[in-house]
Amino acid sequence: MKVYNLACPMEHRFEGWFASEEDCLAQQDKGILACPVCDSTEITRMPSAPHIARTSSTELTVSKDGPSLSGDVIALAGNDHSQLEAQVQAAFLKGMRDLMGRSEDVGNTFAEEARKIHYKEAPERSIRGQTTLDEAESLRDEGIEVMAMPLIPAFKNTLQ
């Protein structure tokens, strides 16, 4: 099993697991290796150093005064922003996976279905889909809570 650190031109970093290096190259040649965030197939392998202990001048400061996904706030001192970026990206993807798993995709009928749920004409449940900005504002005016999300093609499918 080969595990590679990968990145797309937008600098989204992710991990890929392959049976062999040839398997990785074959998937890349066929265009089926894609970024889970932006769906780009222009993927490059990044340097990797797994299981190597190192010392660093970077300090982690933990504060319990502010909210976060885990209940703690982590601040990085020094210039190691790539670690923070990776943590933020991982938290975002985890949150989006959870949201996708707990909601029903109603596609372009989002506004109509949201109204049916709000007026108790359909069973109450979490839904997601597409609508116009004007229609979303109209839903808010009716007292229907809606939240805009980035439209990322990978979120339509299971993220790996």
Domain-located, residue 10: yes
pTM of the model: 0.46
108 and 95, same structural domain? no
Domain-located, residue 130: yes
What type of residue sits at position 112?
A: E
Pick from 34-43, 116-125, 138-147: least confident? 34-43
- Taking the alpha carbons of 49, 8, 154, 149 in that order, is the dihedral positive or negative? positive
Could you give the number of structural domains in the chain? 3
Between 128 and 158, where is the model more confident? Answer: 128
Domain-located, residue 94: yes
pLDDT at 112: 95
If residue 44 lies in a helix (H) or strand (E), which one and from where to where? Answer: strand 44-46
24 and 9, same structural domain? yes
Q: Which domain holds residue 89?
A: 60-101
Average of per-residue pLDDT across 104-132:
92
3-state secondary structure (DSSP) of residue 22? helix
Domain-located, residue 92: yes
pLDDT at 52: 47
Average of per-residue pLDDT across 90-117:
87
